[in-house]
Amino acid sequence: MNSESPYIRDLLSTIDLEAEPLRLFVTGSGASARPQLVAAVHRRLIGREAVVVTADFTGDDRGPDTVLLIDNALDLDAAELAKVLETLRRTDISAVVATDMVDPRLADTAADFSASGSVLHLDRLRCSDIQALANGYGHSLAPDEASDLEFLSGGHFGALDAALRSPVRGRQTVDDALRGYFARTVGALDAWQREILHISSIVHNLAPDELELGGPSDAFDRALGTGLFAAQSPAIVESLAHPLGVGSERATLDRILDRRIEAGVLDIDTAVRLFDAGVRHPGIAHHFYEHAKRATSATAADLYQRAAVIESPSAETMLHHAECAASRGDLDTAVSLTDSILGDQSAQDADLAVAVRISAAVSAVCGQIASGAELYAWLGPARADAESAFGAILLVASGRIDDATAMLAGTSGAPSPGSTGTGLLARGLMQSLTGPPPLALNTMSRALTLPRSPGASRFQADSPAAIVATALMHTGAHDRARDVLAKATPAHDTSSHLWARHQILAAWAALLAGSENPVADIPESALTDSLGQRDTLFLLALEVGVARRFGDLEDVRRTWSRASGTLFECSVNLLDLLPICELWLAAVRLGDTEHVDHLIDEAQDLLRLLGDPPLWSSLFHWYGVQAAILGQSPADLLPHARALAESAKIHSYSAGLAEAGRQWLLVLQGTVSGDEIETAARTLNRIGHSWDAARLAGEAALRAPDTKSATTLLQLARSFRVNTPEPGSSREDANALPDSPLTEREHQISELVVLGLTYREIGERLYISAKTVEHHVARIKRKVGAQSRSELLVVLRSLTTQNRN
């Protein structure tokens, strides 16, 4: 009795086994607890010395304690069943009758038992049942654990009981118990049942008339009664699986497939399972190809892969497969497929153009836009046709203006919203090299207003939104950049490389706008190993940018060590200047510019080749100003300041940076004009450089000739550093701190930390070593109870405000 399942004991408690006569009718497939309950009833009856008979019983020779027990009425042949049913018409006979389904022949018997005894209808176990069963064995299952078990077991009571009996918990223990149970169960079936069950696990909604197996007439019903029919549990499917030969089962599957294709009712899940079972029918390949045209990229790529095993695809199909593979991040497959087209001497120009677009886009994702541009140069305007605008974008970004001009001039065919949008984007990029930045931004932004077309979902080197946002960030329009990305992001599936790219670029816009922890706002699903080299560069450089602005030297060193490796795979182009520049400043701060110097030289060469276009060169030269300041090299600042001054003639953003650079140079030379510094800093803040504005004002305050000027500039610097309370607190809460626990020296260091100075710079101002500053900051952190760098800055800003008051 001790080994009896608590679930069975609960069922037995609802049955009066002492009834005279005992009349019990139980229905339930083999997946339910019916077999185990009937066995338990049998044991209980034997235990109280009842005479249990299972065959050749008419009732005429019964004793007072005789009970007729039929384990599964449908296992009886017609004659035996008729005999038993005749006997069961007598209501004075004790009987326990079980069946895996209520056959029409048993309907009257079930009704009689319902009137004069008990009827139990048992089903496979659901989540709540599984939790109750586990509790009976002393285990506690969370709803999601119970749901997993329901799927793995198919709800089979016997399998679940075997798995949960073990005192040892763990997925492997459960899996072993389930596999063992189903292997024994399937092994006890006859060959006809096993074959029907195997086919039912492959073919959806299998009907009896689809089978022509030549077995017993009741074979299908008996297979249904096992509870294993149409099973999807991996353990059950595994126990039923066997290699398909050339015998009756293979012929049956081929016949079912032909009929369903002819009737137009073949569903994709059945087609996939037939393929996985070894069926290689041309009709499946055609079905895969047709379904792939309407499926998501991930599903389509998988279907194309399967179809190609059955028959060779056309060039059009290979290109669609490449498109889908690239969109899901399988770049190797995409390149392999496009290489087949590009290497085919008989390939059509239109196919070559699509192959070049996909291959060039893969190169861009891998951080090699120049390689993609080279492909378009090889293709030429005549063959590019509808793909010309895509080519022009890559050619412009790589500095190949003549090729880009020829590519745009070669476009032919009727314009569509999609091609018009891409064309506007390409022309806007061309304008960004020669015309006023506002004109170029207007042209590019108009590309975003056109309705999406099927071409908009094609695999591209970059999205229009990402290109426009990048250009906006190069002009200080960080909020607009974020708006552009926010509107475009929902249009892309989360598995798309562009979805992740939009998230990372939005974090960049937030960083440049002054956010202290934009990385935390990037969804975790975007930070995966499937990021291409380009987006990895942007992500790691973003982390460096956060550390440089809001971390200490160790933070910069740690993030730099992760990001510097990407420089070995990096190539320079207009669209990737931002992360390269950020890594440049980190390298200067750490005195480790060896790995970035050649990239900066290449960037300067590219910008000179293009005529130093203000839209792209201004931010680069501003980073150059910052690099010279960090490196304490005023001479290196001058070329960048001159370039900004030249751009200032046609670009107000450049003018703001140029004046700020001039004032910073004067500060380094020891000349501080409070009014001019204030004007330059306020302009910097207005054009999207609040962090740099605070740095300029703070630097000038520390070199101011008098206390009044220094105080005014420090207050100005603080005004650019907006205090952002932690989530759940208000600004008043953040300021409502107890009396400051810091010493006078620690207050001085706090002021400078809040202004963004490095440990070395603070040490120079206070005539102490950078190591001493680091020790002070660690002590301050402990005193104020800050757990993170951002939390420390919040507290320090409040303390410095109190100290000033």
- When mean pLDDT is compared across 100-109, 173-182, 653-662, the lowest value belongs to 100-109
DSSP letter (8 states) at residue 729: -
φ, ψ dihedrals at 267, nearest 5°:
-90, 160
Given pLDDT bands bounded at 50, 70 and 90, which one contains residue 170? confident
* Residue 489 amino acid letter: T
* C-beta separation of 121 from 91 below 8 A: no
363 and 456 share a domain? Answer: yes
Q: Is the pLDDT of residue 737 over 60?
A: no
Across the range 576-584, mean pLDDT stands at 97
* C-beta separation of 437 from 468 below 8 A: no
Domain closes at, from 663, 688, 722: 722
Position 227 in a domain: no
Q: Within a 13 Å sphere around the CA of 205, how many CA atoms are in the beta-carbon half?
A: 8
What is the C-alpha separation between 346 and 472, in angstroms, rounded?
44
CA of residue 379 relative to chain centroid, distance: 35
Across the range 785-793, mean pLDDT stands at 62
Name the helix (H) or strand (E) containing 98. Answer: strand 94-99
Extract the tokens encoding 571.
């190539």
795 and 738 share a domain? Answer: yes
Strands 51-53 and 94-99: unpaired
14 and 90 share a domain? Answer: yes
Question: 298-311, pLDDT tens digit by residue?
Answer: 889 999 999 999 99
Looking at the DSSP bridge assignments, the partners of residue 69 are 96
φ, ψ dihedrals at 66, nearest 5°:
-90, 135
353 and 433 share a domain? Answer: yes
Q: Is the pLDDT of residue 538 over 50?
A: yes
Q: Is the pLDDT of residue 739 over 60?
A: no
Across the range 346-370, mean pLDDT stands at 95
Extract the tokens encoding 689.
């450089």
Extract the tokens encoding 272.
């996939």
pLDDT of residue 714: 83
pLDDT of residue 492: 60
What is the C-alpha separation between 800 and 270, in angstroms, rounded?
69
Position 185 in a domain: no
* C-beta separation of 27 from 158 below 8 A: no
355 and 446 share a domain? Answer: yes
pLDDT of residue 60: 60
* Angle CA 664–669–670, to nearest 5: 95
Sign of torsion over alpha carbons 220, 222, 224, 227? negative
410 and 487 share a domain? Answer: no
Given pLDDT bands bounded at 50, 70 and 90, which one contains residue 105? confident
φ, ψ dihedrals at 166, nearest 5°:
-65, 135
Domain count, the chain: 6
709 and 779 share a domain? Answer: no
**Tokens 């751009």 belong to residue:** 647
What is the C-alpha separation between 286 and 280, in angstroms, rounded?
11
447 and 477 share a domain? Answer: no
Position 135 in a domain: no
CATH (domain of 322): 1.25.40
Position 171 in a domain: no
What is the C-alpha separation between 423 and 441, in angstroms, rounded?
14
CATH (domain of 797): 1.10.10.10
* C-beta separation of 514 from 691 below 8 A: yes
18 and 110 share a domain? Answer: yes
What is the C-alpha separation between 200 and 193, in angstroms, rounded?
10
* Residue 737 amino acid letter: L
Looking at the DSSP bridge assignments, the partners of residue 490 are none
Position 108 in a domain: yes
Q: Is 87 exposed, middle or buried (0-12, 13-18, 19+ CB in 10 A)?
A: middle
Q: Is the pLDDT of residue 491 over 60?
A: no
What is the C-alpha separation between 307 and 287, in angstroms, rounded?
9
Domain closes at, from 123, 146, 173: 123
Long-range contacts, stretch 207-210, CB < 8 angstroms, 24+ apart: 210/252, 210/255, 210/256, 210/259
59 and 116 share a domain? Answer: yes
**H helices present in 311-416, as ranges:** 315-327, 331-342, 349-365, 369-384, 388-397, 401-409
Given pLDDT bands bounded at 50, 70 and 90, which one contains residue 781? confident
Long-range contacts, stretch 169-173, CB < 8 angstroms, 24+ apart: 169/139
For the chain, the distance separating the N- and C-terminal CA atoms, rounded to the nearest angstrom, is: 81
Domain closes at, from 703, 722, 741: 722
Task: Give percent above pLDDT 90 in the chain.
Answer: 50
Extract the tokens encoding 303.
């279907």
**Residue 477 falls in which region: left (phi positive, over 0), alpha (psi -120 to 50) or beta:** beta
Strands 118-121 and 94-99: unpaired
**Residue 170 falls in which region: left (phi positive, over 0), alpha (psi -120 to 50) or beta:** left
Q: Is the pLDDT of residue 482 over 50?
A: yes
Indicate the average pLDDT of the chain: 86
Q: Is 430 exposed, middle or buried (0-12, 13-18, 19+ CB in 10 A)?
A: buried
CATH (domain of 93): 3.40.50.300
φ, ψ dihedrals at 757, nearest 5°:
-75, 150
Position 28 in a domain: yes
* Residue 1 amino acid letter: M
Q: Is the pLDDT of residue 728 over 50?
A: no
Whole domain around residue 323: which residue ranges?
290-347
Identify the three-state secondary structure at position 121: strand
How are strands ordered across the β-sheet holding 94-99?
51-53, 66-70, 94-99, 23-27, 118-121
686 and 741 share a domain? Answer: no
Question: 762-772, pLDDT tens digit by residue?
Answer: 888 887 888 88
CA of residue 739 relative to chain centroid, distance: 47
Position 559 in a domain: no
Q: 212, 277, 192: which is closest to 242 by C-alpha?
A: 277
472 and 454 share a domain? Answer: no
**Residue 637 falls in which region: left (phi positive, over 0), alpha (psi -120 to 50) or beta:** alpha
Q: Which residues contact 527 (CB under 8 A, 6 or more apart)?
A: 500, 539
Q: Within a 13 Å sphere around the CA of 246, how many CA atoms are in the beta-carbon half?
A: 0
Q: Is the pLDDT of residue 787 over 70?
A: no
Q: 220, 284, 225: which is closest to 253 by C-alpha?
A: 284
Identify the three-state secondary structure at position 555: helix
* C-beta separation of 271 from 295 below 8 A: no
Given pLDDT bands bounded at 50, 70 and 90, which one contains residue 527? confident
Secondary structure string (H, E, C) spanning 587-654: HHHHCCCCCCHHHHHHHHHHHHHCCCCHHHHHHHHHHHHHHHHHCCCHHHHHHHHHHHHHHCCCCHHH
Question: 22-72, pLDDT tens digit by residue?
Answer: 999 999 999 999 999 999 999 999 988 888 887 666 656 566 778 999 988
Given pLDDT bands bounded at 50, 70 and 90, which one contains residue 785? low
pLDDT of residue 802: 52
What is the C-alpha separation between 588 and 608, in angstroms, rounded?
23
pLDDT of residue 731: 35
Position 604 in a domain: no
**Tokens 């004659």 belong to residue:** 79
What is the C-alpha separation between 590 and 594, in angstroms, rounded?
11
